[in-house]
Structure 1
Amino acid sequence: MLQDYHIHALAHGEYRYTYDWLKTFAVAAREQGILELGFSEHDEYLSRIDTAVLQQLREEFPDINIRLGLEVDYIPGREEHIREISRQYDFDYLIGSIHFIEGWGFDHPDFSHLFTGKDIDQIYRSYFNLVHRAIKSGLFDVVGHLDLIKIWGHRPREHTVEHYVEPLLNSIKAADMVIEINSAGLRKPVKEIYPAPEIIDLVFAKEIAVTLGSDAHHPSQLGEGLAEAHRRLIGAGFKSIAMLEQRQVKLMALK
């Protein structure tokens, strides 16, 4: 496997950013033949990142390119704050993600019931409008789990998902951004990679670069589902995958 760029060693704050803990992720990556390993904590845990720990890992695991990323919640009004935090470390990439719609953490199990009785098409419109604003902000390198809104299995009725996504893809292409192929959806109720196969086909048709990520919150999840994501990319026609270093994109062959 080429890479896993979406790793949360701190998970949701329950683990410590120590050498011994992060080493378990690197060992798991080596066992799976992962060549590029990206630690991308949630931005709320930014202050707990220790770059000295990452440097230790790079010295002990010279066969793995260990990257420093950050997954940032895009919420309108946070733009200046995001600019500020992006300067605090020498990041290789920033993942822009949407987890909240007007304060509703729609992907959290405790709030999944709030889909009931709502206009699903309106939810999709609201969600993808926020994704589009994140893209247009110019703050991010990678679009995280593009169609996360489907997490509980709710699908739009009025339009196909491509109707909502295609304008975003045009903006992503114009901004030279990268789209993450995130396998975490396979272990969620929707049981599908983010983004959906039909979107991956559109991404290929528009010649937009992609990365791979498992969204692991524990070493046991590292690389999980990426073999299927890899097969899906090959089936769609992809010949390369994006590698990011100091917020610059290079392509490597997708074998």
Structure 2
Amino acid sequence: MKFDLHTHHFRCGHADGNIREYVEAAIGAGLKVIGISDHTPYFGSPEEQPFPFIAMGKAEIANYVNEVLQLKQEYEGKIDVLLGIESDFFPEHAESYRQALSLYPFDYIIGSVHQVSGVSIFNKNRWKGFTPKQKIAEKEEYFSLIRQSAQSGMFQILGHIDAMKGNYPSFSDILTEDALEETLKVIAECGVAIEINTSGKTKMSGGWYPSNEILERAHYHGVEVTFGSDAHKPSRVGEDFEEVAAVLKDIGFTEWVYYKQKRKVTVPL
């Protein structure tokens, strides 16, 4: 059974298409389940929309939820439309996010770390002038934030857990094995799934998030996995689903999961 839990649309300011187009694309790609998971508003500021090209405005989230719920009802029997959302994780604002998101009936929430030390993980210039020691410290802080997000209890899924390599492929070569192992152990203990996110191919690193090597370690630690294209245009919905399934089987996974009403649904590979 094909599913995709990670899709965006025009409200976030950096994706193309409306939600209906993603649902139709999912049907065309043979999916049985499509999760809509646009970026949350930025709840760490009193401003309505401090980052209009990154996240929707606060007043728009209710419209977003209502539209997805209407489409869920309209497409019932054709495809299962799930109400998801992708939330940033900022420890200092976690309670604000928790309270704001608790107002809506999300099927699942994806927790993603997009900033470390106040700078986007995708900023190509963030590594300039860093010593090897500073690079290690930044990578360790990234994984620390991921561990904290798993422990927060706010999320069913963690998004693209090695996406810091996206526009800096050398990130993968920074040696912090203990940080990665500890992170995977914590994720497994917390019962949170990680996604195989196929949008890495749209960045300088190419490939998927996380790498096959990390997936092998995740399997060893008993981490559960799910699938998300992280599509920012309808044509990418479900992209590489079969290829990801084949790799997971080779690694030794026998199933993956998705979430409905925040309850885990297991799907055989």
| Identity level (%) | 30
Structure 1 stretches of at least 4 aligned residues deviating more than 3 Å after TM superposition: 14-17
What's 1:10 paired with?
10
Change in Cα spacing, 1:113 to 1:16, as seen in structure 2 (3 Å) is: closer
- Cα RMSD for the two superposed structures: 2.1
Q: Does 1:127 align with 2:142?
A: yes
> Matches of 1:41 and 1:158 in 2, distance apart?
31
What's 2:33 paired with?
36
Conserved in 2, the CA contact under 8 Å of 1:26 and 1:61? no
Q: Does 1:22 align with 2:19?
A: yes
Change in Cα spacing, 1:10 to 1:158, as seen in structure 2 (3 Å) is: closer
Conserved in 2, the CA contact under 8 Å of 1:186 and 1:225? no
The aligned runs of 1:1-255 (5 Å cut-off) are 2-10=2-10, 12-13=12-13, 21-44=18-41, 45=56, 46-107=61-122, 111-118=123-130, 119-152=134-167, 153-155=169-171, 157=173, 159=175, 162-254=177-269
* Superposed displacement of residue 8, structure 1: 0.7
- Matched letter for residue 85 of structure 2: L
**TM-score, normalised via structure 1 length:** 0.89
- Matched letter for residue 257 of structure 2: A
* Superposed displacement of residue 51, structure 1: 2.1
Change in Cα spacing, 1:11 to 1:164, as seen in structure 2 (3 Å) is: farther
Change in Cα spacing, 1:41 to 1:156, as seen in structure 2 (3 Å) is: closer
Q: Secondary structure at the match of 2:37?
A: strand
* Superposed displacement of residue 29, structure 1: 0.7
Change in Cα spacing, 1:52 to 1:11, as seen in structure 2 (3 Å) is: closer
> Matches of 1:62 and 1:158 in 2, distance apart?
48
Q: Secondary structure at the match of 2:111?
A: strand
- Matched letter for residue 183 of structure 1: T
> Matches of 2:154 and 2:90 in 1, distance apart?
12
Conserved in 2, the CA contact under 8 Å of 1:37 and 1:65? yes
> Matches of 2:84 and 2:256 in 1, distance apart?
17
Q: Higher mean Cα deviation, 55-64 or 166-175? A: 55-64
Change in Cα spacing, 1:39 to 1:253, as seen in structure 2 (3 Å) is: same
> Matches of 2:219 and 2:249 in 1, distance apart?
10
Q: Secondary structure at the match of 1:69?
A: strand
**TM-score, normalised via structure 2 length:** 0.84
* Superposed displacement of residue 5, structure 1: 0.3
Conserved in 2, the CA contact under 8 Å of 1:38 and 1:67? yes
Report Cα offsets for 1:36-93 as digits up to 9, x if no partner.
1100110113344142443334433523111111111101211211211221210011
- Matched letter for residue 250 of structure 1: V
* Superposed displacement of residue 102, structure 1: 2.2
> Matches of 1:61 and 1:15 in 2, distance apart?
25
- Matched letter for residue 10 of structure 1: F
* Superposed displacement of residue 174, structure 1: 1.2
Change in Cα spacing, 1:12 to 1:175, as seen in structure 2 (3 Å) is: same
Conserved in 1, the CA contact under 8 Å of 2:35 and 2:83? yes
Query: Which residues of structure 2 form unaligned runs of 5+?
Result: 42-55
Q: Secondary structure at the match of 2:141?
A: helix
- Matched letter for residue 186 of structure 1: K
- Matched letter for residue 135 of structure 1: A
* Superposed displacement of residue 13, structure 1: 2.3
Aligned pairs, how many? 247
> Matches of 1:53 and 1:70 in 2, distance apart?
11
